[in-house]
Homo-oligomer: A and B are copies of this chain.
């Protein structure tokens, strides 16, 4: 492969080759994981290319195909699994210049991949009173395309489930990496091939998403002396069909007092808290429910002063992976896991076994129609071996783990590749140039789709393209 020949074919498409800047842009939030940090710290692209239109994306992919240059697509780079890390070097395809909102209807929006989620919601709210069903806690930075390619759900998943749910994405436009790149409009089942595929089988350039009614969500923080009470309250609240929530997350002590710096004045020592976003129409019913369950109403944004509202970050920036982020800022030795607890009893078992080594953080979500404890517990990290042990303890106690310390699609357990996906990649990326090293099924022709041990594969093998 020849980067120079590739670059020479890009015309006036913006390029950046200052090594320091390129390395910066070659990073996502992989450093949440000490395991990924050790493995990926050296990774960098050779150039960042920033097309401004579908035609320019085609130009980039045409040249990449011709010269066998690896292409790693990137939105804001807020992922935590190395999704956007260019394992084989080559070119980083920055899509943030393609940020146009293309069409807003009452119940849906079509935008380019680089549209930032908060800005997108801002526009749809103004135009039709609608907003996205859910968004990651990196709402203010993350792009639509990056969310679809590398995310799974977030704030709003307590009501709408996640991106995996049928109907969560209405359509995608991708560009293939071939001698003559094509635009493909994917709808229906085909969407599932490309969603959460890290851009390995086509570059997402547009997406059409459902909108739901926007509310002036009210941030609420409720305190409990005991974490298990906070968790039980959260499940009961999640089951209240009449109370409209967008976020519901119990965080065990000492997380709130130790890491929620600006909210600290509201939190008593040793208190576990439940983070909530509630619609104005439901806030009084929520207050009644909190009183009934002997929770302490620590903070209600609708009763807060202007000064408080100005000083405090939004509650969603304490939740999801922001919880870990806040902890990391205070204590760099902390990392996290992604888990799923079938019942409250499973949560209790794990909390009892692991105690303060695993400060518990749960996101209540809806999955396949069921209220689900999606865990994002912190881990006081000591070694990779102990981390594996903690994972084993989960699994032995009937709790699922989606390992966030792996950078391939399959190893995290979030995306099971299959023959259909593999065939689609053969069509959309015959040279295997797109985000190489991320899809085990592609790299290893003997890959067993049903294997539970996919994580043993070394995804850092050089791209076998061209």
By a beta-carbon cutoff of 8 Å, the part of chain A in contact with chain B is 106-108, 129-130, 133, 159-162, 165-168, 170, 187-189, 210-213, 215, 238-244, 279-282, 284-286, 288-289, 366-371
Contact = CB atoms under 8 A, between A and B. Distances in A.
A240 B369 contact: yes
B279 A107 contact: yes
Contacts of A371: 369
B241 A369 contact: yes
A370 B235 CA distance: 12
B166 A239 contact: no
10 contacts: A107-B215, A108-B281, A130-B213, A159-B241, A165-B240, A167-B240, A167-B242, A170-B284, A210-B281, A240-B368
Given A107-B215, A167-B285, A160 B241 contact: yes
Nearest to A240: B166
Contacts of A288: 166, 188-189
Residue with the greatest number of chain B CB neighbours at <10 A, chosen from A162, A167, A211: A167
| Pairs of residues from A and B, 4 with the lowest C-beta to C-beta distance, nearest first | A239-B369, A161-B241, A165-B242, A167-B242
A67 to B, nearest CB: 39
A161 B187 CA distance: 31
B284 A239 contact: no
A241 B368 contact: yes
Given A282-B210, A289-B166, A160 B242 contact: yes
A438 B239 CA distance: 31
A238 B161 contact: no
Contacts of A289: 166
Contacts of A280: 107
Nearest to A159: B241
Contact of A166 (B107, B133, B211, B243): B243
A368 B212 CA distance: 23
Nearest to A235: B369
B167 A282 contact: yes
Residue with the greatest number of chain B CB neighbours at <10 A, chosen from A107, A189, A366: A107
A367 B188 CA distance: 30
A170 B289 CA distance: 14
Given A129-B129, A239-B368, A241-B368, 13 more contacts: A107-B279, A107-B281, A108-B281, A166-B242, A167-B243, A167-B281, A168-B242, A187-B284, A188-B288, A189-B288, A213-B213, A240-B368, A241-B367
A161 B244 CA distance: 12
Contacts of A241: 159-162, 165, 366-369
A369 B215 CA distance: 21
A207 to B, nearest CB: 14
Contacts of A239: 368-370
Nearest to A211: B281
A281 to B, nearest CB: 4
A69 to B, nearest CB: 37
Nearest to A368: B239
B107 A161 contact: no
A154 B451 CA distance: 46
Nearest to A171: B284
Given A188-B288, A212-B213, A243-B167, A238 B281 contact: no
Given A129-B129, A166-B289, A288-B188, A369 B238 contact: yes
Contacts of A107: 215, 279-281
A215 B243 CA distance: 20
Nearest to A210: B281
Contacts of A165: 240-243
A167 B280 CA distance: 11
B284 A188 contact: yes
A212 B280 CA distance: 12
A129 B214 CA distance: 12
Nearest to A289: B166
A338 B145 CA distance: 48
Nearest to A367: B241
A132 B371 CA distance: 24
A170 B281 contact: yes
Contacts of A370: 239
Nearest to A166: B285
Contacts of A215: 107
